[in-house]
Structure 1
Amino acid sequence: MNTTAIYEHSHYHYQITSRKISSWQYQGVILVLAFDEILYDPSVEITTSATFKKPHAAEIEATVLVYELIESGVIKTLLPVNVS
């Protein structure tokens, strides 16, 4: 897995990366590191359901997904219970 910069959106801190799952398939990965002052150790991993031939395409998909999850509030259901 190839980690990248830390991003912040609506108090969520996360990284976007990709994972090689076969010789020609990559999956997007979101690593949620923190929400406000709550640090997740280990980080919470959320993967995209789609796979792509290029890692950059998988990372674009993960970027879109994290914004959808945060804006809709669904990300709260994927994180440990202490996030309100």
Structure 2
Amino acid sequence: MSTTITFNQLRKLKDSLPDGSMRTIAKELDLNVETVRNYFGGKNYERGKSVGIHLEPGPDGGIVELDDTTILDYAKDILEGKKQVEVFS
């Protein structure tokens, strides 16, 4: 399922996640951690992949169309306490 969100909303959500969230999401969804970071606006395509986000100019940092909300949904579940973040050393 796709969804639309502003870039600033997406970054705010990412910045609200506790430490270790990117690695937990990556591990649980069998993705490279850089791919998860790219989903939230990162640009490391040497180690991570593009994950179906489309940016358009607009208010609040621009409009982001997300082709697949799996990573977004997992991040929201972490913030709502439905998923636990693994502690990495």
TM-score by length of 2: 0.30
**Which structure shows the bigger proportion of residues in strand conformation?**
1
**Which structure shows the bigger proportion of residues in helix conformation?**
2
- Could you say which structure has the greater relative contact order, defined with CA pairs below 8 angstroms and 6 or more residues apart? 2
TM-score by length of 1: 0.31
